[in-house]
Amino acid sequence: MGHSQASRKTTHARIVTIAARRFRMHGLRGIGVADIMQEAGLTVGGFYKHFSTREALVCEAMAEAFRDTDQWSRRLRADLRRSLRAYLGESHRDRLEDSCGIAAFLNDAGVSGVESRALYTTRLRQLVELIASLLPEDGSDRQAKAILIYSACVGALTLSRAVSDAELSRELLNTVADQLMALIATPDRSSAPLPAGEER
């Protein structure tokens, strides 16, 4: 690889890294290309040397953000309960720049481009399937339970960031975390046969 090509690749990666961080902090529509290029030390005119459209940058930035989410996925495999607690922790709430992409892009993904929305959908499905695979086989619908768990995580995290009351913010995180711990620990017997003589 020639020097100029290597330099171009490094610059491209720097733009994507900055965009992934800034999009998570401000939303996909909350910051412009000019701001991202300025932070990268480049002119706006140089943008099209790297990306054909803004949507192309959005897709690459989302993919970069989801690589950070992959680190959480690996921790999930090691310890589901602890990882869910960490997801619903104040540190994760406050660390927008490298936080969960699913939560960060929640408000914008539905109105973004076709490719970025498809990427968001794929990564959401993968996370739900991962959580489902880690739940105990207790006779319940693990896919349904995983959807509930992850939806609760994303919802509580997003709400905790939105409110101005610090105590309420902590309560949202801690209450949902406690309820999820109970859900994981307690078998769902709704589909299990009842002992003889009992009625639902």
In tens, the pLDDT along 109-154 reads 988 899 999 999 999 999 999 999 999 888 889 999 999 999 999 9
How many structural domains comprise the chain?
A: 1
Q: What is the pLDDT of residues 69-120, one digit of tens each?
A: 888 999 999 999 999 999 999 999 999 999 999 999 998 998 889 999 999 9
Q: Quote the Cα angle for 193-195-199, to 5°.
A: 80
Q: Is the dihedral of CA 97, 99, 101, 106 positive or negative?
A: negative
191 within domain boundaries: no
Instruction: Give residue 60's domain range.
Output: 3-185
What pLDDT sits at residue 68? 85
CA-wise closest residue to 188 among 148, 118, 140, 142: 140
Q: Please, where are the H alpha helices in 27-165?
A: 33-39, 54-78, 80-87, 90-94, 101-104, 106-109, 114-134, 142-162
The DSSP call for residue 194 is P
Residue with tokens 């959005």: 58
Residue 133 to residue 146: CA distance in whole angstroms: 9
CA-CA-CA-CA dihedral for 108, 113, 119, 122, to nearest 10: 80
CA distance 191 to 75: 30
**Domain contains 198:** no
Burial environment of residue 68 by CB neighbours within 10 A (0 to 12, 13 to 18, 19 or more) = middle
For residues 37 and 25, what is the distance between their CA atoms, to the nearest angstrom? 16
- What CATH number is associated with residue 146? 1.10.357.10
Model pTM? Answer: 0.83
Where b means 16+ CB within 10 Å and e means fewer, 34-64 reads eebbeebebeeeebeebbeeeeebbbbbbeb
- Residue 57 inside a domain? The answer is yes
Residue 49 included in any domain: yes
